[in-house]
Structure formats: structure tokens, C-alpha cells
Amino acid sequence: MGTKIASLIIKSRHEISITDLSEKIIAFDAYNIIYAFLSSIRNKESGGGYFTDADGNVTSHLNGLFYRMNNLLIHGIKPVFIFDGEPPSFKAAEIQSRRDKKAEAAKKREEALEEGDFEAAMKYAQATSRITPQIVQDAKILLNLYGIPIIDAPSEAEAQGSHLLQQGKIYALNSQDYDSFLFGGTRIVRNLAISQRRKVPGQSRWIEVSPELIILNEMLWELGLKNRDQLILLGLLIGTDYNPDGIKGVGPKTALKLVLKYKNPEKLFEYLDVKFGLDTIFPFSPFSLLDYFRNPNVESELLFQHRSPQFQKIQQFLVEERGFNRDRVEKQLLLFKKKSEQKTLDRFF
């Protein structure tokens, strides 16, 4: 439901500035952000290989996290990283499908490399990213040195983040898609990156993107939905991580119309059963999916606190253990220290 629901909401998407999030606790879906870095931070010359150190450890994500965390922390944002635990059984088919797509992309990359088409190889390489234990471990080391709390969710990070939102323990969840609203997340921040420009998937065109805040209640209001159940129904119709295709031939507009017409799960599913047959349009009983979104596996007793970054150790890890350029790292960390000192002074006076 990544982009499909975006077409339905306009007013409830608020353009914000990164400074609006100062002092706010923002949770990040760790695998999500790491995956984004693994995909985008790659070596063009080798046809899309990761950045690595001399020992072959992947460093693409460390590079991305380093600059991203510096910037977020400089702005006074308090990040929390949530790592996925065991995927729910509902996700098995989707996981397999992603695996197949990666294998396919890897094959195409090989072919492109053989033909010497490095640009095509790069494109396919980006679709092959896989998060290994080493990648996770290094990410956790770096985040720890930054004093950023790490949460190991029992299952889906988005579900855990949504729970923390409901408990009021965090201000917002950083996510590119809208799925966490189905889990009851109340606030989502999108496009929380540094650069305000993003390449359009089409070709060599760039667009301006600024962070945007979406609030669940406003979104429900704009859509004309009465409650979260109805939003979950909408999600099931257009597709979620657990039924990615949604219903063939039913786009966002039709989906919304159907939810508004039938209003509750029983009536909607009854209609769908008569029209299509529930078995043919859902991989699982839609009632069980609905129930899953209502009540996902999360941990309720989490406590976390932010600590000060250990600059010396960050530098030591990146430079001495992962082959980063000393001057670059030093310069960035100095800037960080300077700006955060300035910020505390500003607050004081």
C-alpha cells in the first residue's frame, strides 16, 4: 500500500521542516532504512557492488547511517531504531516472492556485466540488496556508539513502532509507506532525509521532496473513514505486505468506494465473497488478516533512553575497523560537536 493510498490523501499530508522535529523521539524501521542505503550507496564502476572495507565487510549502510544520524542528531531529533524479529506467517509468500525477484535481478545483473553494460548492471544490482547478519551487527555497533536506543521487536518493526506511538513513547514513526497506520500508528513522517532532491524513477529528472507529517485521524477524516478498521479494509483491498497484489482490477478509488459503501468487515467481505469468492482474492482469510492488524505481536514493556554519542569510538570504529577516511570522519564529527554545542547555547539564552 506504499504509494496507492497516497493518491487518496492530500490535505492530511503536511509539509514540515526537519527543525519541527527537534527534541522529538522518532522511531525508524531499521531494516527499512538499512535496505534503502544498501540499494542506493553502491559503486558505479563495478556495476553496482556495495561499498566494502578491505576485509570485504559491507559499509554502504554505515556510510548512510553516519551522515544521516549526524544530521538528525544535529537537529535535536532523538532517533530510536526498531529491528524486525520473526516475520509473521502471513508474510511467507511475500518473502519468497521478494527472494525470487532478487534472484532474477542478480541474473540480469550478471548478463549486463557480461555485456559490459555497467549502467544496467548498477540498476539490477540495486534490486538485489540483502541484509546479512554482519550488516545488522555493524549497524547496531554504530547506532550504539551514537547513543541511539535499539529495540529488537518480537515481530514486525512497524507494528512495534505503532504500539510505541499508541503508548505515547515516541512522537512519530519514520516510514516511506503507510502500512503502519493499519497497525494503529498515529503519526508518520516521510522523506526524512537530508537532501531535498530525489531522482524520479523514470529517468534523469529530479524533484524537490521535503519531509511530510501524516496524522492518522486527519487521514481517516479526509478519506471519510470512521475508524481504523475501515482503513485496514481499504488496505486489504489495495494490498498490504501480506497480500501485496490487493484485488485485481480494484484500484484505490474503487477500494475506498467499496469500504464507504459496505462500512464494516462482515458486509464488505460478504459482498466480495459473492462477487469474486474470498478464496480467489485473498491468500488468507481476510478476517484473520484484519485481526492480525488489530492485534499484532508486540512488546509492551519497553524502556529506552538516549545517551551521548561517543565521538572517539565512532571515529575509531569507522576509520580503524571499517576503512573510512580519517579526515572525512573527523571533519564531520567536529562539525557535529560544534553545531550541537551551538544548539545547547541557543536553548540556554
Partner DNA sequence: CAAAGACA
Partner DNA sequence: TGTCTTTGG
Instruction: Between 142 and 281, name the residue whose CB sits nearer to DNA.
Output: 142
Q: Which long-range contacts (CB under 8 A, 24 or more apart) does 327-334 make?
A: 329/66, 332/66, 332/67, 332/70, 333/70
**Of 52-60, 134-142, 237-245, 302-310, which part binds DNA (CB under 7 A)?**
52-60
Residues 146, 231, 324, 333: which binds DNA (CB under 7 A)? 324
- Asked if 238 is part of the footprint of DNA (rule: CB under 7 A), the reply reads no
- Bridge partners of 128, per DSSP, are none
Among 297, 323, 339, 340, binds DNA (CB under 7 A): 323
Nearer to DNA, 243 or 332 (CB): 332
Distance CA 79, CA 28 (A): 7
Helix axis angle, 265-275 relative to 252-262, nearest 10°?
120
Q: Site map for DNA, 129-148, x if CB under 7 A? A: --------------------
Tell me if 43 contacts DNA by CB under 7 A.
yes
Asked if residue 199 binds DNA (CB under 7 A), the reply is: yes
Tell me the C-alpha to C-alpha distance, in Å, between residue 36 and each of 124, 191, 311: 14, 12, 25
- Binding residue for DNA (CB under 7 A) from 28, 51, 124, 171? 51
For the bound state, the minimum distance from the C-beta of residue 275 to DNA, rounded and expressed in Å, comes to: 40
Q: Is 63 in the site for DNA (CB under 7 A)?
A: yes
Q: How far is the CB of 255 from DNA (least distance, A)?
A: 28
Q: How many CA atoms lie within 13 A of 310 on its CB side?
A: 12
Alpha-carbon distances of 57 from 2, 66, 321, 323, 349, rounded to whole Å: 31, 16, 10, 10, 45
- Cα angle 170, 174, 177 (rounded to 5 degrees) comes to 130
Alpha carbon of 163 to those of 91, 189, 298, 301: distances in Å?
Answer: 20, 16, 7, 11
* Residue 118: other Cβ atoms inside 10 A: 17
Sign of the alpha-carbon dihedral angle for 256, 257, 258, 261: positive
Output the DSSP codes for 185-204.
--EEEE---S-SEEE-SSSS
Q: Binders of DNA among 71-110, rule CB under 7 A?
A: 71
Least separation in angstroms between CB 142 and DNA: 12
Question: What minimum distance in Å lies between the beta carbon of 34 and DNA?
Answer: 11
Which member of 325, 334, 337, 342 binds DNA (CB under 7 A)?
325
Site for DNA in 177-196 (CB under 7 A): 193-195
Question: Does 64 help bind DNA (rule: CB under 7 A)?
Answer: yes
Please report how close the Cβ of residue 163 comes to DNA at its closest, in angstroms. Answer: 26
329 near DNA (CB under 7 A): yes
70 interacts with DNA by CB under 7 A: yes
Q: Distance between CA 349 and CA 346 in Å, rounded?
A: 5
In whole angstroms, give the CA distance from residue 217 to residue 157. Answer: 21
- Using CB under 7 A, which residues numbered 203 to 222 contact DNA? 206
CB 257 within 8 A of CB 218: no
Closer residue to DNA (CB): 36 or 278: 36
Query: Any contact of residue 67 with DNA (CB under 7 A)?
Result: yes
Please give the residue ranges that form the binding site for DNA (CB under 7 A): 36-37, 40-41, 43-46, 49-53, 59, 62-64, 67-68, 70-71, 193-195, 198-199, 206, 322-325, 328-329, 331-332
